[in-house]
């Protein structure tokens, strides 16, 4: 549907006052791992005990943006080659990338994972093999190319999941079970619902570790400032235990919005490279699964989404968790890609289209107008780039008042009017 302009018959909504905003900094505890020397030493110590001469080794690459992922992948490739191995990259992202081999390759190339950058080829296919079944008969799948290799290196960021809580969420187990399961595996796992996801991940991972040639895992953790927090080689026989332990650490250092209440949250961009749901429910408190608990966040009345990242290739999953967006943002959505992802995950709300405004300015004004408050001048407005980058944000004067005595929050600029182009696009 080609939408050009929407006539909203509500008096005065274009005259709503938008409060001035100031830059602010959330002072997270953010230790950073700068050197990869320890990780390289781990690789050499582990691989020196294995005969890798001429062995085909598959390295997984997922659909999330991961800090320093090109550097990390290149290090693994180089060390494997030093021991005579023949490494290659396998896109492992379930149904993402439009659930096609070419689409998944395009996703990882956008992250900089190219043959030239990492030093090995990419082999992409949606073909799978069935390696076993759970007690209820549900089949467990694995990417055929990876399964038929001499060894698989499971590489993934470990973080809280966007739809469920458990001992294992987004991490090495999910990469093995859902990522390497391709579209078949993702569909089968998600068909059971997120209430059972943590249990299924554990059981399915056990089968995969028995049947597939998992060589080792690489756990990557990020700090709240989108920097490398930890990087660890995890032997295959400790993947389940260590995945659980690293998730506890990841939750300790996840980014968040520290204010207790927000009237309008302006999100400049959402995307699959940012979160599985476009914007992380661990930040917004709005999981697409809806009923599950454990997503602690400020009380937010209205969320405005202004754009979708280029890395998402039109997959606008997450837009449905916003209250208001724009026509410009809507036109960037590839409905086929978004619907494929949402239907595979069996969670449809994130793929619904919110109220659309003609411009960023109108979207923000509509959000303020529809907040349940008496004075728009005192509206608590917070503007963020995305839910992954939360160290520096913009806030309205009322938020500054709320946070004035908070020791991990500081104002770093004066209050200024929001600036828009003549077309109403936020600058």
- If one counts the domains in the chain, the total is 2
Listed residue (386, 392, 387) closest to 255, CA to CA:
387
pLDDT at 21: 97
The two three-digit tokens of residue 18, written as one number: 């938008």
- The predicted structure's pLDDT at residue 8: 74
For residues 68 and 86, membership in a common domain is answered with yes
Give pLDDT, residue 407.
96
Q: What percent of the chain has pLDDT over 90?
A: 75
* CATH code of 65's domain: 3.40.50.11440
Res 344 pLDDT > 90? no
Same domain, 190 and 54: yes
Q: pLDDT value at position 345?
A: 82
Does 248 lie in the same domain as 270? no
Query: According to the model, what pLDDT value does residue 10 have?
Result: 66
How far is 390 from 25, CA to CA, in rounded Å? 8
From the number of C-beta atoms within 10 Å of its C-beta (0-12, 13-18, 19+), residue 10 rates as exposed
Domain's final residue, options 218, 252, 286: 252
**CA atoms within 13 Å, Cβ hemisphere of 149:** 28
Q: Is residue 418 part of a domain?
A: no
Q: Is residue 423 part of a domain?
A: no
Instruction: Please state which of the ranges 62-66, 165-169, 173-177, 421-425 shows the lowest mean pLDDT.
Output: 62-66
Residues 260 and 200 in one domain: no
Per-residue pLDDT at 293: 65
On whether both 279 and 137 belong to a single domain, the answer is no
Answer whether residue 5 is part of any domain: no
pLDDT, tens only, 297-318: 899 999 999 999 998 989 999 9
Average pLDDT of the chain is: 92
Of 394, 402, 401, residue with least CA distance to 364: 394
User: Is there a single domain that holds both residue 122 and residue 260?
Assistant: no
* pLDDT tens digits, 1-39: 567 778 776 666 678 899 999 999 999 999 999 999 999
Residue where a domain stops, chosen among 252, 267, 291:
252
**Same domain flag for 103 and 19:** no
For the entire predicted model, the pTM comes to: 0.85
Shared-domain flag, residues 213 and 288: no
Give the mean model confidence (pLDDT) for residues 245-268.
Answer: 95
Q: Which range of residues forms the domain containing residue 317?
A: 13-28+255-411
Confidence (pLDDT) at 3: 77
Same domain, 73 and 124: yes
Checking if the pLDDT of 296 tops 90, the result is no
Q: Does 224 lie in the same domain as 337?
A: no
Q: State the Cα–Cα distance between residues 257 and 149, nearest whole angstrom.
A: 44
Do 197 and 309 reside in the same domain of the chain? no
Q: In this predicted model, which residue has the larger pLDDT, 56 or 110?
A: 56
pLDDT tens string 313-340: 899 999 999 999 999 999 999 999 999 8
Backbone φ and ψ for 324, nearest 5 degrees, come out as -140, 140
Structure tokens at 30: 């953010």
Q: Where does the pLDDT of residue 219 fall: very low under 50, low under 70, confident under 90, or very high at 90 and above? A: very high
Going by C-alpha positions, the residue among 107, 100, 123 that lies closest to residue 63 is: 107
* Mean pLDDT computed over 342-363: 93
Q: What is the pLDDT of residues 253-264, one digit of tens each?
A: 999 999 999 999
Domain-located, residue 422: no
**184 shares its domain with 196:** yes
Reported as a single tens digit per residue, the pLDDT across 73-119 is 999 999 999 999 999 999 998 877 777 888 899 989 989 999 999 99
Looking at residue 164, its pLDDT comes to: 82
Q: Which of 233, 252, 271 is where one domain is finished?
A: 252
């Amino acid at each position: 549907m080609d939408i050009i302009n929407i006539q909203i018959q509500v008096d005065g909504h274009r005259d709503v006052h938008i409060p001035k905003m100031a830059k602010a900094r959330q002072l997270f505890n953010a230790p950073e791992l700068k050197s990869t020397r320890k990780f390289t030493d781990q690789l050499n110590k582990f691989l020196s005990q294995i005969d890798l001469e001429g062995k085909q080794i598959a390295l997984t690459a997922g659909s999330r943006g991961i800090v320093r992922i090109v550097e990390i992948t290149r290090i693994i490739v180089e060390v494997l080659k030093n021991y005579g191995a023949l490494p290659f990259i396998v896109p492992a992202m379930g149904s993402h990338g439009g659930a096609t081999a070419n689409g998944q390759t395009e996703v990882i190339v956008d992250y900089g994972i190219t043959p030239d950058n990492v030093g090995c080829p990419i082999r992409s296919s949606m073909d799978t093999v069935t390696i076993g079944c759970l007690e209820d008969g549900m089949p467990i799948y694995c990417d055929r190319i990876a399964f038929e290799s001499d060894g698989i290196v499971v590489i993934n960021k470990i973080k809280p999941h966007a739809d469920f809580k458990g001992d294992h969420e987004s991490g090495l187990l999910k990469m093995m079970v859902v990522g390497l399961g391709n579209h078949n595996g993702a569909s089968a796992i998600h068909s059971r619902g997120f209430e059972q996801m943590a249990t299924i991940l554990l059981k399915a991972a056990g089968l995969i570790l028995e049947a597939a040639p998992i060589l080792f895992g690489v756990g990557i953790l990020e700090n709240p400032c989108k920097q490398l927090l930890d990087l660890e080689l995890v032997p295959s026989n400790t993947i389940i235990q260590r995945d659980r332990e690293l998730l506890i650490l990841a939750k300790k250092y996840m980014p968040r919005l520290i204010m207790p209440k927000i009237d309008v949250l302006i999100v400049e961009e959402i995307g699959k490279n940012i979160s599985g749901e476009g914007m992380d429910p661990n930040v917004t408190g709005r999981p697409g699964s809806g009923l599950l608990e454990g997503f602690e966040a400020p009380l937010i009345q209205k969320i405005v989404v202004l754009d979708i990242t280029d890395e998402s290739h039109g997959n606008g999953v997450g837009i449905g968790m916003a209250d208001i967006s724009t026509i410009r943002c809507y036109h960037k959505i590839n409905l086929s890609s978004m619907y494929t992802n949402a239907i595979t995950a069996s969670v449809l709300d994130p793929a619904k289209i919110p109220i659309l405004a003609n411009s960023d300015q109108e979207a923000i004004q509509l959000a303020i107008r529809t907040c349940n408050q008496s004075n728009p001048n005192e509206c608590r407005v917070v503007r963020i780039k995305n839910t992954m980058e939360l160290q520096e944000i913009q806030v309205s004067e009322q938020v500054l008042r709320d946070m004035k005595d908070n020791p991990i929050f500081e104002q770093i600029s004066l209050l200024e009017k929001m600036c828009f182009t003549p077309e109403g696009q936020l600058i």
